[in-house]
Amino acid sequence: MLRFVVLLAVVLPVTASAISAQPTEWLERMSRAGTAVNYQGEFVFVRGDLVRHMGVVHTVDSKGVQEKIYSVDGPAVEMTIGNQPGQQYADSIASRERGFAGSESGLLSSRIHESFVFSRFPPQLLSRLTSLYEISLGGEDRVANHFVQIVELTPLDSYRFGLKLWLEKETALLLKAAMIDAQNNILEQFSYSRIAIEPATNGDVSRLQPTEASKSTEVGAGSSEWEVTNAPLGFKLHSVNRYPAMPAGNVDHLIYTDGMAMVSVFVEPPGQKGTSGNGAVRLGVVNAVVGNVASRQVTVMGEVPEATLQMMLDSVTPVNTLQ
């Protein structure tokens, strides 16, 4: 059973390093916060007419990062992740594997989890961001009775959305986030209503085995039978996984990221459960485009503009001759 200790109900003093930190330094601290603190709380996730009240328990110990996200109201949604942070980042979209992708509650769970996991992206990806986003400090605010620093990421092109992040002053933990389009409309937002934070007792995060929810085999970029040859600037292949979909064949899953936004490319035998046909589709709370390449059904999904998804779908190409 996961263990947690509630933070004393006091506001911690702001450190001098937090006051002087530059925007990219805040993001670096944010990327480490998930392995430095334990926390539990409740947050509200909003996208369009969809409003969900969710709970989270997050602990770090000698076994790694353990996280449970669950619904407080509405359809039953629960997601339990136990892994090292880098693998969490790669596995966040893996919960959309076939059989799960047709479930709106499953996609909601996946999307909410991504809202947390992107804040713990591998720090080496930070180097890309300054060429893709204008990163600036906003004002200061309070979220869930914690003082926060606002960090804004404004895209330098039309292939990604903007982000506004509210980071807890002492730990840089992400307490609120908003995804914003070119017209400054809020597309998606989550915000804690309450959260208790304490330092992790063991900072030595060891590698864990992938959870049952992912059940994938990482095949490596060099072993992939598929590639996206024309992705927008900054989007690089992050990982390739393969899921069994017997008897029709395997599902290949490629994850591309620019360091903030993530796009998932599924290549599967035709006629699998989930999406079908061609063109733009809506999978619960997720944007997607679907097409056919070399007798395979290809689904490209992610929280980016539709033009980005379509550009990547149009350039999905088989690397080797398929059997």
**Three-state SS for 259?**
coil
Q: Does 3.30.70.360 match the CATH number of domain 217-318? A: no
Residue-level pLDDT at 111: 58
User: Phi and psi of 99, rounded to 5°?
Assistant: 95, -30
DSSP classification of residue 278: S
Whether a cis peptide bond, with omega within 30° of 0, leads into 247 is yes
DSSP codes of every residue in 8-46: PSSPPPPPHHHHH--HHHHHHHHHHHTTTEEEEEEEEEE
Contacts with 231 (C-beta within 8 Å, 6 or more apart), sequence order: 256, 263, 311, 312, 315
| Model pLDDT, residue 243 | 76
CB 293 within 8 A of CB 205: no
Question: Which one, of 264, 207, 266, lies nearest residue 238 by Cα?
Answer: 264
How confident is the model at residue 213, as a pLDDT?
38
Instruction: Note whether 20-199 and 217-318 share their fold.
Output: no
The letter for the amino acid at 205 is V
Q: Which of 167, 317, 177 lies closest to 260, judged by CA?
A: 177
Give how far Cα 66 sits from Cα of 59, 76, 86, 125, 208, Å: 5, 20, 13, 23, 10
pLDDT for the residue 93: 39
Q: Which residues contact 308 (CB under 8 A, 6 or more apart)?
A: 159, 160, 232, 235, 263, 302
Helix (H) or strand (E) segment spanning residue 101: none
Q: pLDDT 10s digit of each residue in the chain, 323 long? A: 222 222 222 223 334 344 457 999 999 898 888 888 999 999 998 888 888 899 999 998 887 888 888 889 877 777 777 654 444 434 443 443 333 344 455 555 555 555 555 555 666 667 788 899 999 999 999 999 999 999 999 999 999 999 999 999 999 999 999 999 999 999 989 899 999 999 876 543 333 333 343 344 555 555 678 999 999 999 999 888 887 765 667 888 899 989 888 899 999 887 655 555 566 665 545 688 999 998 889 999 988 999 999 999 999 999 874 44
State residue 207's pLDDT score.
Answer: 33
Backbone torsion region of residue 24, taken as left when φ is above 0, otherwise alpha when ψ lies between -120 and 50, otherwise beta: alpha
Residue 248, number of CB atoms within 10 A of its CB:
12
Closest CA to 91 of 118, 52, 126: 118
Q: Whose CA is closest to 210, among 65, 68, 307?
A: 65
Q: Residues 85, 214: contact at Cβ < 8 Å?
A: no
> pTM of the full predicted structure?
0.77
Q: What is the pLDDT of residue 96?
A: 39
Instruction: Decide which of 1.10.645.10, 2.50.20.10, 3.40.30.10, 2.30.300.10 is the CATH code for 20-199.
Output: 2.50.20.10
Residue 209 has phi, psi (to 5 degrees) of -75, 150
CA distances (Å), 245 to each of 99, 104, 176, in order? 9, 20, 37
Q: What is the pLDDT of residue 35?
A: 83
- Domain edges within the chain: 20-199, 217-318
Backbone angles phi, psi at 13, to 5 degrees: -65, 145
Closest residue by Cα to residue 100 from 221, 239, 275: 275
Contact criterion met (CB below 8 Å) for 168 and 266: no
